Amino acid sequence: MRRCVIIGGADISSYEYIKRRFQDEDFFIYCDSGLKHMDKLGRKPDLIVGDFDSHEDPHMDIETITLPCEKDDTDTYFAVKEAIRRGFEEFLLVGVIGNRFDHTMGNVSILLYLDSMGKKGIIIDDYSEMEIVSNEPACIDDSYSYFSLLNISGVAKGIDITDAKYPLENGEITPEYQYGISNEVLPGKTACVSVKEGRLLLVKVV
């Protein structure tokens, strides 16, 4: 099954870094002002969605879903739901972490939504890569400068971290006390993170 790449309108500084993460078979959905990245990313849309309040409709010969301006779903959230409806299982979100903190948090919550649907989602920006750790362990190699574990949903228990500067065994992280910030993978090792109960946001810093 092809991976779905969803492009939002937040600023991107390192286009080359983002482009290296693309695969030839990826299905691209551009959301409204995400279209401003099209030329520099060098990939044409397979689908365009948006209410076009921040970017004009390009009227390309490409399938386009025009949304109302007043709605519950953001353009990005709608794109994710539409991609799930079309059968996609794996998602890469780009251009969704920006200056608007409210939009950023809303987009990060998409990772929780995808996890709850049994789908795999990753967000990448100029500085980091984000994913949810829940039912399956996650690995971090030593090419990353740091990694953090943040609780953005309930209580996470039975947390194990191995091969890291700050290991953890059967730990618990609550939203009120985020002590899992700025850990480091031991040189030459691959750290592993697992959670027995709950979910964590894993942020790997480039």
pLDDT of residue 69: 82
User: pTM for this one?
Assistant: 0.93
Torsion of CA 62, 65, 68, 71, to 10 degrees: -130
Q: What is the CATH number of the domain that holds 52?
A: 3.40.50.10240
- Domain containing residue 112: 4-126
Do both 16 and 60 map to the same domain? Answer: yes
Q: What percent of the chain has pLDDT over 70?
A: 100
Do both 30 and 65 map to the same domain? Answer: yes
pLDDT of residue 58: 80
pLDDT of residue 44: 96
Do both 99 and 152 map to the same domain? Answer: no
Do both 11 and 95 map to the same domain? Answer: yes
**Average pLDDT of the segment spanning 177-206:** 97
Do both 95 and 195 map to the same domain? Answer: no
9-46 confidence digits (pLDDT tens): 999 999 999 999 999 999 999 998 999 999 999 999 99
Do both 113 and 166 map to the same domain? Answer: no
Count the domains in the chain: 2
Do both 144 and 116 map to the same domain? Answer: no
